[in-house]
Amino acid sequence: MLEGIYLAIQGAASQGIIWGIMTLGVYITFKVLDFPDLTVDGSFALGGAVSAILISNGMNPFITLFFSFLAGSLSGLATGILNTKLQIPGILAGILTMIALYSINIRVMGGRPNIPLLGMATSLTIIQNILSLSKVVSDLLVGFVFSVFIVLIMYWFFGTEMGCAIRATGNNEKMIRALGVDTNVMKTIGLMISNALVSLSGALVTQSQGYADVGMGTGTIVIGLASVIIGEVIFGNRFNFLYKLSSIVMGSIIYRIIIAIVLQLGLKATDLKLLTAIIVAIALSVPVLNKKANKILSPKRKG
């Protein structure tokens, strides 16, 4: 039992760090922009579909990651246009794009609901063969390299003038608009970056699991939110923005480890959605419960 749990934790950590890239994308919209973007369920599958179809047609798997990143940014652009130009509410704009992406993803995959990559080289298998590593270790290594690079790029970008404007748009849109910043442009850029990262994560997950499926993005937004909340609750909002971004990736890893342990203890895979909802509810309630506990305990401490 213990050996099975240990192996499950290893696999969960390697998957968690790859999914952590998606979580960073969710963090940009929900925490930085304060935008309820549901596009990610579609853009995650889009990244996987683009990468899989290009690999199956003989393209270098590393190059396919760029095209997945680009495709994701276009899906974010679509949501941005619906929201800023057509004045469709953000949550509805995301839903519309997500629904449209289902059909687009099937078209990208040539009318098929899934594309297997069995026997084909992927970026992860290439690294695995070059360094003579196990699949779990190679996934962990690739995920770690991508996550560190993206976190550092995000830390730099959100410290630039444009990055600060995007953060200010989510924090106080009226104030930053009064300073002459086009908040519609900032929202659209934020959505493009967010969905580009989500799509990149979808491509890496596809290459890791060896197939792309049109439904692989279902529930992605819930998983992303759960990871973001877990990271914030456990690690808090201490220190600087770099620490926050790192804690988000760690939240994704912890989420996957929790899921893996619970499955090893006998939970059915069909109950994972329920478990995720419970985890999110508990994580969201922790700060509220802490405040109530502090209010109750404060008078006693003074007395």
Q: What are the beta bridge partners of residue 91?
A: none
Kindly compute the dihedral angle of the four CA atoms of residues 34, 164, 159, 280, in this order, to the nearest 10 degrees: -10
Domain count within the chain: 1
173: number of Cβ within 10 Å: 17
Q: How far apart are CA 152 and CA 113, in angstroms?
A: 36
pLDDT digits (tens, 9 = 90+) for 193-240: 999 999 999 999 999 999 999 999 888 988 898 899 888 888 877 778
Q: What are the beta bridge partners of residue 294?
A: none
**Helix or strand or coil: residue 121?**
coil
- Mean pLDDT calculated for residue range 140-153: 94
pLDDT digits (tens, 9 = 90+) for 85-112: 999 999 999 999 999 999 999 999 999 9
Q: What was the pLDDT predicted at 260?
A: 87
Cβ(252)–Cβ(260) under 8 Å? no
Reported as a pLDDT band with limits 50, 70 and 90, residue 10 is confident
Choose among 154, 197, 162: nearest CA to 183.
162
Which domain range does residue 150 map to? 2-302
**Helix or strand or coil: residue 136?**
helix
- CATH number of the domain enclosing 155: 1.10.3470
Q: What percent of the chain has pLDDT over 70?
A: 97
Dump strand ranges (E) for the chain: 114-116, 211-213
Longest dimension (CA), the chain: 74
Tell how many helices (H) and how many strands (E) occur in the chain.
Answer: 12, 2
Q: What was the pLDDT predicted at 21?
A: 95
